[in-house]
Amino acid sequence: EGFGRIGRLVARVALQSEDVELVAVNDPFITTDYMTYMFKYDSVHGQWKHHELKVKDSKTLLFGEKPVTVFGIKNPEEIPWGEAGAEYVVESTGVFTDKDKAAAHLKVCDN
């Protein structure tokens, strides 16, 4: 949840891990084209030099051949994390800062 500085860092770590699979990201404020640009050319962590990243369509990013679903939903209770196959959600927007607010993600994470 959120593809700002922290969300992109979490994605970078997940994409380089054999134990974590990135299945979806949500950010209602930026397009997939801008997500791709910010991820590729991070001013703090440097240029992404692993597998190719490109936009497949307005709802999908391709990290190499790996599709990652993109949501642009403001209300966390409406984000279909479970449909995307998410088991865990990293809340990195800075908006849902207490347990009750962040728990809204859990309601839709169960398949």
Distance CA 104, CA 91 (A): 11
Please work out, in degrees rounded to the nearest 5, the angle formed at the alpha carbon of residue 12 by the alpha carbons of 40 and 37: 20
pLDDT in tens, 17-37: 999 999 999 999 999 999 999
Percent of the chain with pLDDT over 70: 89
Encode pLDDT of 77-91 as tens digits: 899 999 999 998 888
For the cut 70, the answer to whether the pLDDT of residue 106 exceeds it is no
Enter the pTM of the model: 0.84
Please name each of the domains of the chain with its CATH number. Answer: 5-108 (3.40.50.720)
Give pLDDT, residue 97: 72
What integer pLDDT is reported at residue 25 of this predicted model? Answer: 97
DSSP, res 64: T
User: For residue 99, what is the enclosing H or E element?
Assistant: helix 99-102
The pLDDT of 59-72, averaged and rounded, is 95
Tell me the residue type at 105.
H
